[in-house]
Amino acid sequence: MTQNLPSPASPLKIGTRGSPLALAQAYETRRRLAEAFDLPHEAFEIVVIKTSGDNQALIAADKPLKELGGKGLFTKEIEEDLLSGVIDIAVHSMKDMPVAQPAGLLLDCYLPREDVRDAFVSPKFSRLQDLEPGAVVGTSSLRRRAQLMNRRPDLKVVEFRGNVQTRLKKLHEGVAECTFLAMAGLNRLAMADVPATAIETSDMLPAVAQGAIGIERRGDDSSTAAMLDAIHDVTTGQRLAAERAFLAALDGSCETPIAGLAELDGGTLRLRGEVLRPDGSEAIAEDQSCPIEDGAELGREMATKLLTSAGPGFFDWRA
């Protein structure tokens, strides 16, 4: 069967948010597709879509994401345009993706994963341990807040919304003495001048799917599916299958402090998971291994075990 490839006259349309990081991820997707099929970049059109999460009033509000509408704030309009045919594929940061996709859409293509670690960012200090009691830390992540309060309950945490550049601006304005960013974002934006120190996963387990880019498509678009198959990274897919099954079984969202990371060693998958009370007063962790092909099942089993250990009300941030 002859595959219909895009061309400058009839480009494949790549949907993305308009932040610098989102655009960097879209450009990486375009580059990989162009190289895989020996096509000019003009055969791919980057379509910027403004989402509810890009509303400046929401960003300025500095409220937890759970109070603003959840992860869907960053995907709803993009997925609507994908379903209607305005765009052909959508590029997402996987750590911000809901665990379920709308009917008619599939998310089964992942690019090679970047650095999964969190970064400690401060113009004054190089490590979390160096902060004095009472120091102000800015983060909009419920997971990072809970992990921080679990390890350093003597610190004060304030909301810190916005993209990477916005948060760095707030930091230099003195709103907080430090913040946390994903190493993957800093690397993709080539921001080597940012005063950042990577935090080992043994000290701060990252968000599920952190560092991964996912590409969403319509389920009935076989031509696009074949193109995406050429750039899909199998290893990343295997890791995310375990992590996202873990998250889904925990009913994971922006309302729940959950961390998870799958790593491969030969034919074995190691999955580490952590759930925390929103105030950081308690953390429960698990560390298990299985054959790679059983990763998703292990994710579900680990989630069930952690939920049993946590008990009812463990995640209730409304209390």
Domain borders along the chain are 12-111+212-232, 118-199, 244-310
pLDDT band, residue 56 (cuts 50/70/90): low
**Assigned CATH topology for domain 244-310:** Double Stranded RNA Binding Domain (3.30.160)
**Assigned CATH topology for domain 12-111+212-232:** D-Maltodextrin-Binding Protein; domain 2 (3.40.190)
Percent of the chain with pLDDT over 70: 91
Q: Which is catalytic among the residues 88, 96, 229, 251? A: 96
| Catalytic status, residue 96 | yes
Encode pLDDT of 65-124 as tens digits.
555 445 567 899 999 999 999 999 999 999 989 999 999 999 999 999 999 999 999 999
Average confidence score pLDDT of the chain = 91
Q: How far is 241 from 249, CA to CA, in rounded Å?
A: 12
Entry pTM: 0.90
Question: For position 142, what pLDDT does the model report?
Answer: 92
- Residue 192: pLDDT over 50: yes
- Residue 176: pLDDT over 70: yes
Same-fold call for 118-199 versus 244-310: no
- How crowded is residue 23: how many other Cβ atoms within 10 Å of its Cβ? 17
Output the CATH code of domain 118-199: 3.40.190.10
- Tell me whether residue 85 is exposed, middle or buried, using C-beta atoms within 10 angstroms of its C-beta: 0 to 12, 13 to 18, 19 or more: exposed
Structure tokens at 41: 């970049």
Order across the sheet with 156-158: list the strands: 156-158, 136-138, 178-182, 118-121, 196-199
